[in-house]
Amino acid sequence: MTFYEFFAGGGMARIGLGAGWSCAFANDFDPVKAATYRANFADAADHFHEGDVWKLSEADLPGRADLAWASSPCQDFSLAGARAGLTGGRSSAFFGFWRLMEALDDADRAPGIIVIENVVGLLTSHGGADFAALGAALGARGYRFGALEIDAASVLPQSRPRVFVIAAREVPAGLTGDSPFHTRAVKAAHAALPDAVAANWVWWRLAAPPARNTNLAAMLEPDDAVAWHSPEETERLTALMGPLHRARMDAASGRAVGAVFRRTRIEDGRSTQRAEVRFDGLAGCLRTPRGGSSRQAIVVVEGGRVRSRLLSPREAARLMGLPDSYRLPRTTTGALHVAGDGVAVPVVRWLARELLEPLLSRTTVLAAE
């Protein structure tokens, strides 16, 4: 099975797809991500291209891949961003990718399956008009499509909901039906589609994975291997908590490990910085250093003592499902950027095993018949 990986970052989709897949081409324009990709894949020189997707042509893509994966820049779809939609400067990179898919189609080399991964805001951007435009583009090239909203919390101790749009030329029997990933947001997005676009919709069947058996505490370094905040820094952090979050911390018993984000909230008509803590065994959604939110912190309450520190790059990588052998950038900012802007590895593996690989296998049988 072969694939192209666009906006590849550190190659997390490739790792998730697994050894049964061969990468024929990958690209990213970010120098730090490109260096990370090369550091982790010995064959990168054979297929990795660093540069703007708009500067690629159909001739740069070898052969005919079974799958094209695109995790295009999400900032303009994010609920935390300006919601510029497909016309936004960074998310318009999607059209650079789609231009290549159209060129491959014209050359009779289009991949049978396309996966587009993005933030949940893709479903509602511009009142659903952007999602409808995406569906119309796919349908115009003979693809049927459907969406799944998968939270990485299903398989990892990180709250990270993402939308996966799966498009295919053929929809074999047995791969459609109900799924826990047909969330309210997915159903609403489908209901809002124009009839001509909705005609190409597919309700992909994807079962829930086995129950997650690990939590945030299991991802962390030993206490004596990390740098902790001073008591004064911890006090400043906890002083930012509102009554609800302070009560959560005060109610913690035993050894309680929580994740903390600083967020800006509107209170009494004014922007107020708040620290929000969760003790449900999950980290908050990892962000890039320039993603609009401050770096995630860890708070440990034990024996009446409260300690805090910043989440380390290696811990962030683990929360994305990356092995400790994965080579991160040397700088903290670079490492957090690569991890926070990636796709959760076990989510990709589950999607590949339960849907993409059966879809490809059955499509191949149909073609042979």
Residue 126's pLDDT is 84
Strand pairing partners for 283? 158
Contact predicate 130/84, CB 8 Å? no
Each residue of 101-124: pLDDT tens digit?
Answer: 999 999 999 999 999 999 998 999
At a CB cut-off of 8 Å and minimum separation 6, what does 132 contact?
192, 193, 194, 197
d(CA 94, CA 53): 9
pLDDT beyond 70 at 187: yes
SS (H, E, C) 191-227: HCCCHHHHCCECCECCCCCCCCCCCHHHHCCCHHHCC
Q: What is the CA radius of gyration of the chain?
A: 21
Contact predicate 44/37, CB 8 Å? yes
pLDDT beyond 60 at 295: yes
Instruction: Reduce the DSSP state of residue 276 to 3 states and report it.
Output: strand
Order of strands across the sheet that contains 144-151: 48-50, 22-28, 2-6, 67-70, 113-118, 161-168, 144-151
**Residue 165 φ/ψ, nearest 5 degrees:** -95, 120
d(CA 234, CA 275): 11
Residue 79's pLDDT is 41
Residue 237's pLDDT is 92
Residue 291's pLDDT is 44
Domains of the chain: 2-209+341-368 (3.40.50.150), 222-311 (no CATH)
Residue 103's pLDDT is 96
- Give long-range contacts, CB 8 A cutoff, 24+ apart: 139-142: 139/196, 139/197, 139/199, 139/200, 141/101, 141/102, 141/105, 141/110, 142/105, 142/169
* Whole-Å CA distances, 321 to 73, 317, 340: 20, 7, 12
72 versus 9: the higher-pLDDT residue is 9
Q: Which of 52-61, 263-272, 331-340 has the lowest mean pLDDT?
A: 263-272
**Residue 218 φ/ψ, nearest 5 degrees:** -70, -20
Residue 90's pLDDT is 47
Q: What is the mean pLDDT of residues 340-364?
A: 93
Altogether, the residues listed in the chain come to a count of 369
pTM of the model: 0.91
d(CA 179, CA 319): 25
Residue 85's pLDDT is 54
